[in-house]
Structure 1
């Protein structure tokens, strides 16, 4: 029998009731501004939906026209709960959410598990929210897909870039980098810092550190791989918790970005 990674933050970061969760995500997606981007890679925040859900939705709504093509989602997010050297895959074969189960891509997992920087570590995944909160959005939009969930700890940019290169794939593969931006600055200071970080991402500069984004290492790795694959980054939304829910005294920044191939044709009927 396949082992299952059960939800750790259902009822905390997002609704545990399936119907409430679907309604929550439906409202977030319906209010998101539609972009013309047809992404290969998304950078998406990972806070509770009340805080960053509207920003995450601006990224996920871009998947609606490519949903039928995507069969594998590579998820990279930072380790929050457990110290980790390198990168970690789960031992579990299935990730569960209130909306059902998603299979881990065993073939892709076996492929990157051969890399020396990648370990199998279920304890790192057990309570980690940065990947889990992305799954209900994906389940609400995509049809038949598997995931490759990778938690990133203390690793070099080259080590993460090697993993991305290994599973880059074609149009069947979507890559998601899970990251929030600045943490616990006053509202105006957070805006200044997050605008600088967004500008660096849009210019594909590998100069982001962990005070700018908790997922700095996978973001910097993406910058290198994006240049190699001639991807064009687009800013979809940039806000902080002072804009969405909570005080403006100490806020957390959230950004959504889509990376699109120069070769992807624009599709008609996709409203601007």
Structure 2
């Protein structure tokens, strides 16, 4: 069973050729550069590409050097469309975009089978855009990879972190957290609020409100796990819809943050 695209034609182009060209342009951002350490995890926004694509592009461009290594992506985002207790896996066996299908990692699904906070919900994924909009970037940068898509609903940071720990793996596994920042504040207020949120994330301080980030729950889980593994966080890009394609009276904030492996990461 294939989970068909729900956001194509709204959040990103539905035509494969146009989508491929759009993503290629976003990946060429001047902010994109290859860092010294491998990227183990990243936070990327999930609005329409015209709004948040200039922030997401540089984050995904960081992965170019690891394209031959990464074989599995653990993708977590907030459940916007259906109520979920815990973290929801899909019923589907693959996720489709105009660029093709990405298979679900069945071994990973089996590894999560005994975790009480992990459920299966086709409804949670059917119309969920937060996960889908990340896929064309991943399909454009990586080679063959499998996917573990998790729509995060009512879950504690520890419940999320425990799932990430089971799936952590090695350099073949990338973790992507899909989240926007503040919503619908005036431009200046959003800039201040989002800067404070980013500083909390970079300092491994858990978020305490969905007003800081709609993906606060998966972000907090990542912070617990990444801190334990001593990853090094770094801000790649930060702006809001008033900087890209929107009205500055009511903006949405976007950040791209990468978490890199350090020498200490391998001392456990």
Do the structures match in fold with TM over 0.5? yes
Pairing of 1:51-200 with structure 2 (within 5 A) = 51-200=51-200
Q: Secondary structure at the match of 2:212?
A: coil
Residue 33 of structure 1 is aligned with which of 31, 34, 45? 31
Residue 269 of structure 1: aligned partner: none
Q: Judge conservation of contact 1:200–1:208 (CA < 8 Å) in 2.
A: no
- Separation in structure 2 between the aligned mates of residue 186 and residue 207 of structure 1, nearest angstrom: 21
Q: Write the deviation string for residues 133-159 of structure 1: whole angstroms up to 9, x where unpaired.
A: 000001111011000000000111111
Pairing of 1:189-268 with structure 2 (within 5 A) = 189-263=189-263
Q: Secondary structure at the match of 1:224?
A: helix
- Separation in structure 2 between the aligned mates of residue 34 and residue 91 of structure 1, nearest angstrom: 35
Q: Which runs of 5+ in 1 are unaligned?
A: 266-272
Q: Secondary structure at the match of 1:115?
A: coil
Q: Which runs of 5+ in 2 are unaligned?
A: none
Q: Structure 1 residues 88-97 or 30-39, which shifts more?
A: 30-39
Residue 19 of structure 1: aligned partner: 17
CA drift of 1:264 comes to 8.9
Q: CA RMSD, aligned part only?
A: 1.2
Residue 10 of structure 1: aligned partner: 8
Residue 268 of structure 1: aligned partner: none
- 4+ aligned runs moved over 4 Å, structure 1: none
Q: Secondary structure at the match of 1:42?
A: strand
- Separation in structure 2 between the aligned mates of residue 152 and residue 34 of structure 1, nearest angstrom: 29
Aligned length, in residue pairs: 263
